[in-house]
């Protein structure tokens, strides 16, 4: 997969050299290219923002540098090859595991993290003519810019690429994966030692009884989901829950 990021803070993307994403890059599974938006400005001050039409606080990112940057990046691909353009914004659609799975199946993503009050609307209009352009938010809070969301989305996507995680089963039970633990939050996990500061291990996990362990894990997942994310249970088909579930 190829991944381009256009930003006024290229150094903010340094974590893409580290850990899982860094490893995917060095293994050649992921080709990451970070670009400085200011390379596509032509004035002495490398201006990327201006005051908003209609008034109001803050500044808006000018369309011209984004247009030149996106044209250059898009033209650097093979003829006819079109990336998905991802515009991080708190007013976008929610980033979900489902969207991560969709993006992981695409060969080329271009991220356009903005600062200030966002990018002139015409940039999205322009590229949406012949590209899939997704405006995406990573949650219901406001960040100062889209760079941290790019790190979040890149990690969520990179770990789904074939050959990045140790084994494919690692994401079957992901909290939000469709199937597997059926979209429930994962319950608690334990490792050695068997006793730590007076805390033991739930006995069932030491029983070696796979059926009872699976049942216990599902109960824990249900309890945790009901407590932290009741919306995930309310949104499900009641037929997915068996008689035992309903007593948890
Ligand atoms: Cl994608 N950008 C910004 N600036 N704030 C956010 C966000 C994105 N997602 C949640 N908050």
For the stretch 81-125, pLDDT in tens is 999 999 999 999 999 999 999 999 999 999 999 988 999 999 999
Which residue among 10, 15, 52, 90 is the active-site one? 90
pLDDT tens column, 220-230: 999 999 999 99
What is the Cα–Cα distance from 49 to 65, expressed in whole angstroms?
A: 10
What is the Cα–Cα distance from 185 to 95, expressed in whole angstroms?
A: 17
Among 58, 61, 89, 115, which is best to mutate for testing ligand 1, by the most ligand atoms less than 8 A from CB? Answer: 89
Ligand 1 centroid from CA 248, angstroms: 36
| CB 118 near ligand 1, within 6 Å | no
| R_g of the chain computed on alpha carbons | 22
Whether residues 20 and 130 fall in one domain:
yes
Which residue among 71, 117, 125, 240 is the active-site one? 117
Whether residues 10 and 128 fall in one domain:
yes
User: Domain end: 129, 158, 187, which one?
Assistant: 158
Whether residue 7 lies inside any domain: the answer is yes
Whether residues 147 and 237 fall in one domain:
no
Residue-averaged pLDDT of the chain: 94
Whether residues 151 and 177 fall in one domain:
no
Is pLDDT at 179 greater than 60 in this prediction?
no
Residues placed in the known binding site for S-adenosyl-L-methionine? 138-143
| CB 149 near ligand 1, within 6 Å | yes
| CATH at 115 | 3.40.1280.10
| CB 143 near ligand 1, within 6 Å | yes
User: Domain end: 104, 135, 158, which one?
Assistant: 158
pLDDT in the model for residue 247: 86
Whether residue 80 lies inside any domain: the answer is yes
Residues placed in the known binding site? 138-143
Domain interval for residue 79: 2-158
ipTM score above 0.95: yes
Whether residues 192 and 143 fall in one domain:
no
pLDDT tens column, 188-214: 999 999 999 999 999 999 999 999 999
pLDDT in the model for residue 177: 63
User: Quick count: other Cβ atoms within 10 Å of Cβ 43?
Assistant: 6
Nearest atom in ligand 1 to the alpha carbon of residue 140 is 10
Whether residues 194 and 108 fall in one domain:
no
Report whether the peptide linkage leading into residue 172 is cis, meaning its omega lies within 30 degrees of zero.
no
Whether residues 193 and 142 fall in one domain:
no
Is pLDDT at 77 greater than 70 in this prediction?
yes
pTM: 0.93
Q: Which of 40, 7, 3, 5 is nearest to 145 (CA)?
A: 7
Q: How confident is the model at residue 166 (pLDDT cuts 50, 70, 90)?
A: confident
- Is 122 a catalytic site residue? no
Under a CB-based contact definition with an 8 Å cutoff, are residues 149 and 113 in contact?
Answer: yes
Q: How confident is the model at residue 173 (pLDDT cuts 50, 70, 90)?
A: low
* Percent share of the chain, pLDDT over 90: 85
Segment 135-144 shows an average pLDDT of: 97
Which residue among 4, 49, 174, 217 is the active-site one? 174
What is the Cα–Cα distance from 8 to 12, expressed in whole angstroms?
A: 9
Q: How confident is the model at residue 172 (pLDDT cuts 50, 70, 90)?
A: low
pLDDT tens column, 29-61: 999 999 999 999 999 999 999 999 999 999 999
User: Domain end: 125, 158, 191, which one?
Assistant: 158
Q: Beta strand 49-50 with 60-61: parallel, antiparallel or unpaired?
A: antiparallel
| CATH at 200 | 1.10.1270.20
Better-scored residue on pLDDT, 61 or 180:
61
pLDDT in the model for residue 248: 85
- Is 174 a catalytic site residue? yes
């Amino acid at each position: 997969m190829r991944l381009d990021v256009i930003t006024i803070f290229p150094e903010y993307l340094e974590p893409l050299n580290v850990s899982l994403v860094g490893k995917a890059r060095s293994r050649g599974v992921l080709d990451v290219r970070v670009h400085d938006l200011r390379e596509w400005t032509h004035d002495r001050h490398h201006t990327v923002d201006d005051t908003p039409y209609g008034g109001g606080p803050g500044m808006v990112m000018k369309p011209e540098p984004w247009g030149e940057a996106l044209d250059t990046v898009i033209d650097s691909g093979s003829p006819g090859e079109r990336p998905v353009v991802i515009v991080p914004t708190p007013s976008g659609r929610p980033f979900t595991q489902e969207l991560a799975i969709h993006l992981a199946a695409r060969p080329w993503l271009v991220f356009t993290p903005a600062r200030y009050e966002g990018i002139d609307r015409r940039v999205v209009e322009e590229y949406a003519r012949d590209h899939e352009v997704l405006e995406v938010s990573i949650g219901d809070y406001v960040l100062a810019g889209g760079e941290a969301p790019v790190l979040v989305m890149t990690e969520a996507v990179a770990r789904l690429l074939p050959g990045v995680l140790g084994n494919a089963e690692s994401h079957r039970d992901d909290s939000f994966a469709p199937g597997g633990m059926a979209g429930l939050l994962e319950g608690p996990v334990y490792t050695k030692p068997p006793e730590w500061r007076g805390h033991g291990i739930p006995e069932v996990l030491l029983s070696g009884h796979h059926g009872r362990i699976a049942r216990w894990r599902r109960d824990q997942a249900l309890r945790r989901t009901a407590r932290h994310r009741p919306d995930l249970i309310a949104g499900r088909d009641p037929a997915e829950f068996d008689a035992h579930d309903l007593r948890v």
